[in-house]
Chain A
Amino acid sequence: MSSLRDIRQRIDNVRSTEKIIKAMNMVASAKLQRARAQLEGVRPIYHELKRVVTDISRYKGTETHAFFEKRKVKSSLYVVITSDRGLSGSYNANIMSKALDHMNHGKNEKIFVIGAKGHEYFKKRNKNIIRTVTNINDAHVYYGAERLANWIIELYLSDEADEVFIVYTHFESVLNYVPYVEQVLPLPIKSEEYAYEDDMKYEPDIHAFIDHLIPLYLHMNLFRAFSESHTSEQAARMVNMDSAGKNASKLIEELTHMYNRRRQANITQELSEIVGSANVLSKGESHDS
Chain B
Amino acid sequence: MDMQQPGIMNDKKIDLTITTPRGVKFVEKADRVIMRCIDGDMGVLPGHARVSTVLGDGILRILNNGIEKKLAVFGGIAEIDDKSVKIFSTIAQRPEEIDRERAERDRQEAETAIREESEEVRIHSLQAKLRRSLVRIEVSLHIDEDEYTEEL
Contact = CB atoms under 8 A, between A and B. Distances in A.
B95 interface: no
B63 interface: no
Q: Is the interface of A mostly helix, strand, loop or mixed?
A: helix
A201 B51 contact: yes
Contacts, number: 69
A251 B61 CA distance: 65
Contacts of B79: 52
Contacts of B105: none
A203 interface: yes
Nearest to B20: A45
A223 B51 contact: no
Interface of B: 19-24, 37-39, 49-54, 75-77, 79, 86, 88, 90
Contacts of A40: 23
Nearest to B42: A203
A202 B53 contact: yes
B20 to A, nearest CB: 6
A-side interface size class: 20 to 34
10 contacts: A42-B22, A45-B21, A48-B19, A52-B79, A142-B21, A201-B51, A202-B52, A203-B37, A208-B38, A216-B76
A220 B21 contact: yes
B49 A201 contact: yes
Given A49-B77, A203-B54, 14 more contacts: A42-B23, A45-B20, A45-B21, A45-B88, A48-B19, A52-B79, A198-B50, A202-B53, A203-B52, A208-B38, A209-B77, A216-B76, A216-B88, A223-B21
